[in-house]
Amino acid sequence: MAESFKSSIAFLRTANSAPTPTIYEAKDKMGLGISPPLSPPQSDTKSIDYKPSADNIVPTNKEIKVNWEGGYTFAPIKEWQVSRAMTKRYGDDLYRTAVSDVVIIGAGSAGLTCAYALAKERPDLKITICEAGVAPGGGAWLGGQLMSAMVVRKPAHEILAEVGVPFEDEGDYVVVRHAALFTSTILSKVLQFPNVKLYNATAVEDLITRADPSSPTGVRVAGVVSNWTLVTLAHGLQSCMDPQTITAPLVCSFAGHDGPFGAFSVKRLVATGMVEKLGNMRALNMNSAEDYIVNNTREVVPGLITGGMELSELDGANRMGATFGGMLGSGYKAAKEAIKFLDAHQIVDGEVVGRKETA
């Protein structure tokens, strides 16, 4: 029965081969006058006089041409070559990043800025980014309320200049003509660093912890548990489907304000008893919010640095609204804190084994 299909598309694809009338035939007998859609065309080969022709047989030795008058031809390829090209590299990435130096949660404006500053300063580090969305960038593709321009208060405009994003100087602040210009620029630069790997459509659904007698709670964060976002959503934020893990001595979390995946790390810290409670983000106050977020971006528990709007949820700081200087500055500050952390600890196979002795 059609009702047994979860997808009406699946039913329609099999309707023509069924002994019973199609859905269109049944409705037509009821006098509804419904006809099959013109597109896509029927794929029932019994109703089509299909014969392979020279036009749809691809020669294996065809000449590669760039000809915009109807003669453009690609190099030959086999379908399995495409599959292997993707799966081999993805598998190699999973193998290589299973032990990372830093994991960044969230590829929004703060997370991408952190990744950029960290990768540029320390090309020796293995940096892995997990982004739950298919499109990295978070809310930084638009400036605010579906408007294009991005406002950045000084002195965070220096980060724009460093990355190479043009802006209009308005005195105390600058304006990027389209937020997507910033996001696409910094994203392209981050992805070109050979020591950075971005997993988009990949949600962090838990944190890895290790015993740490020096910590007030006796534990430290030691990596993340990740899964494809669709799997996580289908089975709850902590899915029963086997996840992957990434071991790292340091996690930098920029999961944003509260939401389905928002403020994930700090909420998990409360749930596990590593933090007593959340301060909950206060109402909007641009003048106080941005200074606070940059200045207080820090290691909130051993092994976990938090910044951006997620820090607002933890500390009860004000919301900053559609001004992005605090996000950029928080990401940059997190990178500096990460370097201090890594330089101060002894690390073996991605795990902290002690602090380095100072001279």
pLDDT by residue (tens digit) across 59-114? Answer: 556 789 999 999 999 999 999 999 999 999 999 999 999 999 999 999 999 999 99
Annotated ligand binding at 291? The verdict is no
> Is residue 226 located within the same domain as residue 349?
yes
Any domain includes 323: yes
Any domain includes 79: no
Annotated ligand binding at 131? The verdict is yes
Annotated ligand binding at 319? The verdict is yes
Phi first, then psi: give them for residue 158, nearest 5 degrees.
-65, -30
- Total count of domains within the chain: 2
* Predicted model pTM: 0.82
> Is residue 129 located within the same domain as residue 44?
no
> Is residue 37 located within the same domain as residue 132?
no
Indicate whether 24 pLDDT > 60: no
Any domain includes 78: no
> Is residue 36 located within the same domain as residue 124?
no
Any domain includes 61: no
Identify the domain containing residue 50 by its residue range: 2-56
Interval 228-243 mean pLDDT: 70
> Is residue 30 located within the same domain as residue 126?
no
Annotated ligand binding at 309? The verdict is yes
Last residue of one domain, picked from the residues 56, 73, 90: 56
Report the pLDDT value the prediction gives residue 8, as an integer from 0 to 100: 36
Q: Residue 336 corresponds to which amino acid?
A: K
CA 149 – CA 235 distance, rounded (Å): 38
Residue 168, beta-bridge partner list: 175
> Is residue 236 located within the same domain as residue 297?
yes
Average pLDDT value for the chain: 86
CA 264 – CA 110 distance, rounded (Å): 15
Structure-block tokens of residue 102: 């830093």
Interval 261-267 mean pLDDT: 90
> Is residue 244 located within the same domain as residue 330?
yes
Indicate whether 53 pLDDT > 60: no
Phi first, then psi: give them for residue 316, nearest 5 degrees.
75, 35
**More reliable by pLDDT, 151 or 56:** 151
Q: How far is CA 122 from CA 118, 188, 254, 294, in A?
A: 6, 18, 20, 21
- Name the 3-class secondary structure at 3: helix
Q: How far is CA 229 from CA 103, 131, 225, in A?
A: 17, 9, 12
Annotated ligand binding at 266? The verdict is no
Indicate whether 237 pLDDT > 70: no
> Is residue 45 located within the same domain as residue 106?
no
